[in-house]
Structure 1
Amino acid sequence: MTVSARVAAFCERFGTTVPVLEAPMAGACPPELAAAVANAGGMGANGVVLDGPAKIADWVARFRAASDGALQLNIWLPDESVDAPDRVAAATSFLETYGTPGPDVEGPDFHAQCEAMLEAAPTVVSSIMGLFPADYVARLHERGIAWFACATTLDDALAAQEAGADAVVAQGMEAGGHRGTFDPAAAEATTVGLMALVPRFADALDVPVVAAGGIADGRGVAAALALGASAVQVGTALLRSPEAGIDAEWAKSLDGLAPERTTPTRAYSGRLGRAVATPFVQAWAADDGPRPAPYPQQRKLVGRFRRGETAGVDRVNMWAGQSAGLARAEPAGEIVTRMWDEARTILL
């Protein structure tokens, strides 16, 4: 199948006119950003891992008031509980050098979130860090909702296809935010770049491949499609848009950011993710820094200190992909249109 035929088939099936999907970045996907992407012909998105049912419903209502375009909702599959009191104690002591923690806040119930996503009926519900159980996949499909599964290895991608995924998101190691490895302990060992990952997936899978990681302009889009992807998913490329409305310090850090100034870290959540190499992130990687607590304990600890009286703790997770320096401070719709126009010029 030609590139144009592959892209056209994907767009027709999933309700887009442009093969550019917004990455579902939890905490950085306001409805205005998703609507801008969808109204430009792409697919808007939201990461709901931290959102309860009421918040999910409200977000979707705000999106639909601004767009009738394609929409993806994404959630993490829960980790098995890891009992590591020594690591929790060491991480707590280290954070106490920054100040006094605030109160703890319980996260939402996973099963209630899944029900809320079904009720919202987006175009796509996507998973990261694992696979949905068979009964939930069946319920998605009964309601006409597609399932996209994020994978970082071919073994995980094949497992997703076997479990009924309608597409697989190939996440290269260049991507900002959390790594999508099914096994949390294997994240550092699965740092495969997108140039190697996409053709490996495309050659082995029967479902469409969506390329994610380090794509921030039309050259990246064209390269991913030429390698066998049917669409691309971009996150960092959109973060400087006015619709994203992220923390000012985070947005400023992305301006001209060199690839080597991003780094994989477990400092924010206990799960590996690529972020700006801030002093806080670097402190955890120093020789005298502790090993972060497992997820979700590390996320909860960092959240408590953000809510307390502290100085030096990053106020937000400053995620950044390796192509952050290509991100522009432009309206999100213009970014999507420009990326696709540039890609078509290259491919045609």
Structure 2
Amino acid sequence: MSILDTLKTPVIVAPMAGGPSTPALVNAAAEAGSLGFLAGGVMPLEQLKQELSEVKGVFGVNLFRPQTDAPKPSDIDELAGLLSSAFRQFGLDEPTVPTPDLSNGWEAKFEAVLAAKPAVFSCTFGIFSAEEFARIKATGIEAWVTVTNPEDALAAQKAGANALVVQGPEAGGHRSTWSIEVEPDERDLKTLLAAVKQAGVYLPLIAAGGLSTSADVAAILEAGASAASCGSAFLLSDEAGTSSLNREILDAAPALGLESVSSRAFSGRYARGVETRFTRSNEGLPPLYPYLNPMITSLRKVAGSAGNWDYAYCLVGVGLESIAKGSAKQILESLTPSALG
């Protein structure tokens, strides 16, 4: 029996790295009969351990698979040059090139997650190794893999995944391609879900991507998903750790006509968020993940504090106008198909 069979609602609270996912949000999901995820992808190890100690009941944890490909040094140098004028405009020193950990601390985080024994351990940007799958399952944990095309879905099924998160292009946050180089599949979520099933995948499928209303959830369940994974719908929830600036942006975006767009200009790999002047001006950026974020962080901070959103980093899926405020429990209830009456 899958954990999915025990939930009171077919709506899962997706992992949202960078702050929005909190122990409070995960605990609220559990109390409401759902499944919430801690998002440990870019989180420091000690913070992940602390958050793991604060969650109660049924929960999941998501990590970012180590990156095996690196941006071209020449592309990184060009990025520094591109940012220079804006840095000078805001009185900042020249942007510096970091030395990021492409593994995101995977090994130590992996051990911490196993020790915490969540109900589900999921990965983004790749797949667990055979040894990792075996250790996860031996601990009594379900192993889920995020996929964006039928080929990856078949590979994950063959490798031993218990369930797959099928992520469409409408999803907020990073698109879970398994390489920074690959151009993501642009088929809409329903079409992608059908293609995965037609390819011979028989595992439970959790659909993710722009599901922000009960009608969205009902439609994707009707299309064959076992559950709906909703992230953006909870960005304005009381329990989310969404920053005050991003709450302000999300509040104002619909009235300002700002849309959610998919671009490498947010982080250096494809991600979907609220469009900015920087994303509009740099649609053709090459793969720069994970260098772009640390190189532009100080600029974002200074500009944002001055009320300038040109360089903002507000990742969110389609359906901005449907994102509601309130408690996670209230939002979960509003997303459940029974809310349609």
Q: Which category describes the TM-score, using the shorter chain as reference length?
A: 0.7 to 0.9
Report how many residues are paired: 327
8 Å CA contact 2:125–2:177 kept in 1: the answer is: yes
1:134 aligns with 2:130: yes
The root-mean-square deviation of aligned C-alpha atoms, in Å, is 2.5
Matched with 1:202 is 197
8 Å CA contact 2:303–2:309 kept in 1: the answer is: no
Q: Secondary structure at the match of 1:187?
A: coil
Query: Any residues of structure 2 matched to 1:68-147 within 5 Å, and which?
Result: 68=57, 70-99=58-87, 100=92, 104=98, 106-107=100-101, 108-147=104-143
Structure 1: give runs of 5+ residues left out of the alignment: 1-8
Query: Between the two proteins, what is the percent identity of the paired residues?
Result: 29
Q: Distance in 1 between matches of 2:269 and 2:15?
A: 17
Q: Distance in 1 between matches of 2:252 and 2:86?
A: 29
TM-score using structure 1 length: 0.86
8 Å CA contact 1:242–1:329 kept in 2: the answer is: yes
Q: Distance in 1 between matches of 2:285 and 2:246?
A: 24
Q: Distance in 2 between matches of 1:129 and 1:238?
A: 22
Say which of 282, 290, 295 aligns to 2:289: 295
Which sits farther off after the overlay, 261-270 or 157-166?
261-270
Q: Distance in 2 between matches of 1:171 and 1:95?
A: 31
Say which of 41, 47, 55 aligns to 2:47: 55
Residue type at the aligned position of 1:97: S
Query: Any residues of structure 2 matched to 1:268-283 within 5 Å, and which?
Result: 268-283=266-281
Cα-to-partner distance string for 1:282-335 (whole Å, 9 max, x where unaligned): 2323xxxx7255212223322354577997576762011111211111111111
| Inter-CA distance 85–304: structure 2 relative to 1 (3 Å threshold) | farther
Residue type at the aligned position of 1:267: A
Residue type at the aligned position of 2:244: A
Shift of 1:173: 0.7
| Inter-CA distance 345–37: structure 2 relative to 1 (3 Å threshold) | closer
Query: Any residues of structure 2 matched to 1:1-348 within 5 Å, and which?
Result: 10=2, 13=5, 15-27=6-18, 28-64=20-56, 68=57, 70-99=58-87, 100=92, 104=98, 106-107=100-101, 108-188=104-184, 190-203=185-198, 204-255=200-251, 257=253, 261-285=259-283, 291-292=285-286, 294-303=288-297, 305-306=299-300, 317-340=313-336, 343-344=337-338
8 Å CA contact 1:174–1:193 kept in 2: the answer is: yes
Q: Distance in 2 between matches of 1:232 and 1:95?
A: 39
| Inter-CA distance 162–20: structure 2 relative to 1 (3 Å threshold) | same
Matched with 1:3 is none
Q: Secondary structure at the match of 1:21?
A: strand
8 Å CA contact 2:277–2:311 kept in 1: the answer is: no
8 Å CA contact 1:75–1:128 kept in 2: the answer is: yes
Structure 2: give runs of 5+ residues left out of the alignment: none
Q: Distance in 2 between matches of 1:119 and 1:35?
A: 19
Q: Distance in 1 between matches of 2:38 and 2:86?
A: 31
Shift of 1:208: 0.2
TM-score using structure 2 length: 0.87
Q: Secondary structure at the match of 2:181?
A: helix
Q: Distance in 1 between matches of 2:61 and 2:17?
A: 10
Q: Secondary structure at the match of 2:182?
A: helix
Q: Secondary structure at the match of 1:97?
A: helix
Cα-to-partner distance string for 1:227-282 (whole Å, 9 max, x where unaligned): 00010100110001121141223223323755971111112321101110022322
Residue type at the aligned position of 1:78: P
8 Å CA contact 1:175–1:321 kept in 2: the answer is: yes
8 Å CA contact 1:179–1:187 kept in 2: the answer is: no
Q: Distance in 2 between matches of 1:12 and 1:195?
A: 20
